[in-house]
Amino acid sequence: MKKQQLYMGIMGIYPDIALLDLNVNTSLVSVTMDRDKLEKIRQSRGISANGIANKIGLSRSRYYRWLNYEIDLPMDLLIGIQKLLGLTNAEMQKIFNQSNDELIQKTAMLAYYSLLVSYDNCHVLSHSLLKHKMTTLKNDPYLLLVDYADLCVSYADNDDFQSCEGSFVKVMDSLFLRDMWTTLDIIMLVSMVYMNPPKMMPFLSELYTTICDKATALTCNQKVGFLFDLLCIVTMAENNQLTFEILKKINSFKPMVNDWKMKMLCQLNDTLLNHWQDKKVPVSELECVLIQVRTFDNVNYEQKIVDLVGSYGTLLN
């Protein structure tokens, strides 16, 4: 039976991911926009709904259906409304009333639940993406997500990796065609390292460098989470050099970490780093970390810590 893995990098992005709605909207422009505020701005400008129709080709009926959250609009029409109302990019940004990106959120949930071997949740998420298979938009980002969803469902549903190898290679090929990796790509790639460490091992150094890069749009909490995932994997693979590099890097991020779960990871990281020479973590020090971990009330979290310390103890000096 496949072992459950807790994806710490995802928890750095969505600390309460288990509470997120599996049916999150996946439209290109989601209902998270404050449409009432935009309507008030239109009225204050004295611009009629018919005026919008004449200027940007958005019919009055379609505009009001959008205001009532019945439909979503493509980005080109929203940009047209922005220009018509004379809003700056900063003003338009403020109209989005929550910062969650549905594409990333859906990807994060697929990654999280696939590694927990939760087939039912992966299936629900995958089913919600079926509408994107018929897209005619060139390079639609949801096409990759559909392929990734197929991989996650296959991985969660099968004990042997061979059953999902085709899906794995398809997603892998798409990601490695890119000139640079973003947060979305990192989420997928780290999960794929968990799924098949030997196949992804040649790319771990590049993935590690991308996560640490200042140009990568990740907070210190998120970087620590993803690096901890890599630490668990490379320690199990007995890669001493990369293990030590990751330990030092996590330590460098420690002063900027403010999430309590990530702080616990930093505390464990300090313990491992302090015992790098002999690789023997005293039971008392491990128990000190586990006492705090148990307040999280997640058996997968506790097991992840225990497994890491066990793997660490087998590293050769």
Please report whether residue 265 resides in a domain.
yes
Mean pLDDT, residues 66-79: 79
Quickly list H helices, 116-239: 119-127, 141-157, 165-175, 183-195, 197-200, 204-212, 220-236
pLDDT in tens, 99-135: 446 788 899 999 999 999 999 999 999 998 887 777 6
Sorting pLDDT into bands at 50, 70 and 90, what band is 32?
Answer: low
Higher pLDDT pick, 110 / 38? 110
Do 112 and 8 have their domain in common?
Answer: yes
Highest mean pLDDT, choosing among 18-22, 128-132, 134-138, 180-184? 180-184
Q: Which residues contact 294 (CB under 8 A, 6 or more apart)?
A: 302
* Residue bearing the bigger pLDDT, 203 or 102: 203
CA 122 to chain centre: 15
113 and 7 inside one domain: yes
243-290 residue pLDDT tens: 999 999 999 999 999 988 899 899 999 999 998 988 888 888 888 888
pLDDT score, position 230: 96
- Same domain flag for 44 and 16: no
**What is the distance of C-alpha 57 from the center of its chain?**
36
Q: What is the mean pLDDT of residues 43-55?
A: 83
Q: Is residue 268 part of a domain?
A: yes
In a domain, 250, yes or no: yes
pLDDT for res 138: 60
Among 10-19, 113-122, 282-291, 308-317, the least confident range: 308-317
Tell me the percentage of the chain whose pLDDT exceeds 90: 39
To the nearest whole number, what is the mean pLDDT of the chain? 86
The answer on 87 and 60 residing in a single domain is yes
223 shares a domain with 188: no
Query: Residues 65, 159: one domain?
Result: no
Give a yes or no: residue 204 inside a domain.
no
- Residue 312 maps to a domain: yes
Instruction: Quote the pLDDT of residue 28.
Output: 46
> Domain check: are 114 and 63 in the same one?
no
What's the confidence (pLDDT) of residue 299?
84
Q: Which residue has the higher pLDDT, 82 or 114?
A: 114
On whether both 17 and 104 belong to a single domain, the answer is yes
| HEC sequence for 3-72 | CCCCCHHHHHHCCCHHHCCCCCCCCCCCCCECHHHHHHHHHHCCCCHHHHHHHHCCCHHHHHHHHCCCCC
